[in-house]
């Protein structure tokens, strides 16, 4: 099983984590001013790259903290794991 390194607890089995989708999706500053189409785009449309992807993960069965990770969607390799208060690292 793949190990994922929680920024707090260290390496743990993948089964302890849940996936949270694309990271760094800003909430609209004024949701009320959006059209239905723009709101639907915010809610449902996400990038789907082949390669490095910045994602949210949560250590659900450990410390229950959310964090961000840059993971390669082809190899599943985690390139970077960083806390929510840390900036997104440069990706290759």
Partner 1 sequence: MTADLLARSGPLQSWTDRFAALPDTVQVVATPHVAMADLRVDPAGPAAADVAGFLGVDLPTAPSTYVETDSVRVIWLGPDEWLVTSPFRAPRALEAGLRDAVAGRGAVVDVSGQRTTLGLAGANARDVLSGGCAIDLHPAVFRRGAAAQTLLGLTGVVLVALDDTATSYEILVRSSFAPYLASWLLDAATEHTPT
Residue 6 CB, nearest distance to partner 1 (Å)?
Answer: 8
Does 68 bind Zn ion (CB under 5 A)? Our answer is: no
**Distance in angstroms (rounded) separating the CA atoms of residues 76 and 63:** 23
Distances (CA, A) of 11 to 15, 56, 81: 12, 17, 11
* Phi, psi at 21, each rounded to 5°: 80, -170
Tell me which of 13, 31, 45, 88 binds partner 1, using CB under 8 A: 13
Does 1 bind partner 1 (CB under 8 A)? Our answer is: yes
Beta carbons of 67 and 80 less than 8 angstroms apart: no
Tell me which of 56, 65, 79, 80 binds partner 1, using CB under 8 A: 65
Contact positions toward partner 1, by CB under 8 A? 1, 8-10, 12-13, 15-16, 61-65
């Amino acid at each position: 099983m793949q190990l994922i390194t929680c920024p707090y607890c260290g390496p743990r089995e993948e089964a302890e984590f849940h996936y949270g989708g694309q990271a760094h999706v800003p909430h609209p500053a004024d949701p009320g001013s959006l059209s239905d189409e723009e709101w639907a785009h915010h809610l449902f449309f996400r990038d789907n790259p082949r390669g490095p992807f910045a994602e949210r993960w949560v250590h659900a069965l450990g410390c229950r903290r959310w964090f961000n990770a840059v993971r390669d969607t082809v190899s599943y390799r985690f390139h970077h794991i960083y806390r929510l208060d840390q900036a997104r690292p440069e990706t290759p």
